[in-house]
């Protein structure tokens, strides 16, 4: 393996985010979601840098606002760029590291989750960011002719990728490529030695065709956290049981079953029109020394999930951040962030 995609629990320089704005779908609930961003960025900057994309001409305003709401000035970087939306996980660059320790930023194509939403500005963010002078000498950027969202893959940092067939085989992403050809692309660009395909599982209200980061996540090279549904009356019950069986069939490179840790399913949350929203504790974020976990004003399952995360990651601080505002646009904490591994930022 000449290069690899680091695991998210490895050391980071920072986290990339894009601020919501009034020209996006956030307009009707902008004040609410901005408060979530303030809390989230304040938490991130306790541990590492937050690189925040803000609307043009507003960096001074937002810097003052973020400092007033608890962000650490030394770890706050604001960049003025146009965006369509805020889902940095999916349009942000992925970083691979080669055997000599060199960092390469990969700019995959982003087409609004299979042509569902306009993405003309978001698809240019990485190239514009690269010209902003944020990166160390020797860090390079390559634009890749493949549609791939960061939320659609999980890496154990050692050559194993996990993904869902529903997303990566979507006819509106790379219809010219077979499953085998997509695997070869993942090997070429991300250094994958093998790909674990999750064939089942979904969340109602999800626009991504079942991104893996809403369903199942590596906690270590031998452990997977996954969404579990124990209520036979819930619409997710059968699909998530089938996903659980997929995970039980997976083996580590050494041929052993993974340690599987079920996450509770939050109580159902709905929008104003009665549509179920994709609340999930699997959409957590690693930062240096901590794990940021989305919560959903669920008095039973929020504390249960936070206790479980503390058991799984006893050496890390566990930080719960209310994410009801985010799921109203069908994403959560991991969806609006992209980790920047150590050795990338100036």
Which residues does the annotation mark as catalytic?
335
Which pair of tokens denotes residue 222? Answer: 């031998």
190: exposed, middle or buried (C-beta count within 10 Å: 0-12, 13-18, 19+)? Answer: buried
- The length of the chain, given as a count of residues: 346
Task: To the nearest 10°, report the CA torsion of 189, 194, 199, 202.
Answer: -50
Q: Buried (b) or exposed (e) across 73-102, using 16+ Cβ within 10 A?
A: eebbbbbebebbbbbbbbbbbbbbbeeeee
If one counts every other C-beta atom within 10 angstroms of the C-beta of residue 69, the result is 14
Which pair of tokens denotes residue 178? Answer: 């077979």
- How far apart, in whole angstroms, are the C-alpha atoms of residue 338 and residue 87? 9
- How far apart, in whole angstroms, are the C-alpha atoms of residue 229 and residue 244? 10
Which pair of tokens denotes residue 273? Answer: 């029109």
Residues whose CB falls within 8 Å of the CB of residue 288, separated by 6 or more in sequence, listed in order: 11, 12, 47, 48
122-131 long-range Cβ contacts below 8 angstroms, 24+ apart:
122/18, 122/83, 122/84, 122/85, 122/87, 122/91, 123/91, 125/18, 125/53, 125/81, 125/83, 125/91, 125/92, 126/91, 126/92, 126/93, 128/81, 129/53, 129/79, 129/81, 129/93, 130/105
Residues whose CB falls within 8 Å of the CB of residue 145, separated by 6 or more in sequence, listed in order: 109
Which pair of tokens denotes residue 49? Answer: 């840098």
Provide the 8-state DSSP code for 215. T
């Amino acid at each position: 393996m000449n290069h690899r995609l680091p695991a998210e629990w490895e050391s980071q320089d920072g986290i990339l985010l894009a601020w919501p704005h009034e020209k996006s779908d956030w307009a009707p609930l902008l004040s609410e979601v901005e408060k979530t961003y303030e809390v989230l960025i304040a938490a991130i900057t306790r541990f590492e840098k937050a690189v925040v994309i803000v609307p043009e001409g507003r960096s001074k305003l937002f810097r003052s606002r973020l400092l007033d709401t608890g962000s650490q000035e030394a770890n706050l970087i604001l960049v003025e760029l146009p965006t369509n939306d805020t889902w940095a996980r999916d349009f942000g660059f992925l970083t691979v590291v080669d055997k000599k320790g060199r960092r390469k930023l990969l700019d995959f194509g982003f087409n609004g989750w299979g042509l569902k939403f306009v993405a003309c500005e978001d698809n240019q963010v990485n190239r514009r960011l690269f010209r902003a002078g944020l990166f160390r000498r020797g860090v390079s950027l390559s634009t890749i002719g493949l549609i791939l969202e960061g939320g659609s893959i999980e890496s154990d940092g050692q050559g194993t990728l996990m993904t869902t067939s529903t997303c990566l085989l979507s006819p509106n992403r790379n219809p010219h490529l077979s499953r085998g050809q997509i695997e070869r692309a993942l090997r070429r660009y991300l250094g994958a030695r093998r790909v674990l395909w999750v064939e089942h599982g979904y969340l109602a209200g999800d626009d991504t065709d079942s991104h893996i980061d809403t369903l199942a996540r590596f906690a270590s090279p031998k452990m997977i956290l996954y969404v579990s549904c124990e209520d036979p009356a819930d619409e997710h019950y059968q699909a998530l049981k089938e996903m659980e069986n997929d995970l039980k069939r997976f083996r580590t490179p050494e041929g052993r079953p993974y340690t599987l840790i079920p996450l509770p399913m939050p109580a159902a949350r709905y929008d104003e029109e009665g549509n179920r929203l994709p609340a999930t504790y699997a959409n957590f974020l690693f930062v240096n020394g901590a794990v940021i976990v989305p919560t959903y004003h669920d008095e039973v399952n929020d504390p249960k999930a936070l206790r479980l995360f503390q058991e799984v990651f006893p050496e890390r601080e566990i930080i719960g951040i209310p994410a009801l505002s985010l799921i109203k646009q069908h994403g959560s904490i991991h969806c609006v962030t992209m980790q920047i591994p150590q050795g990338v930022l100036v």
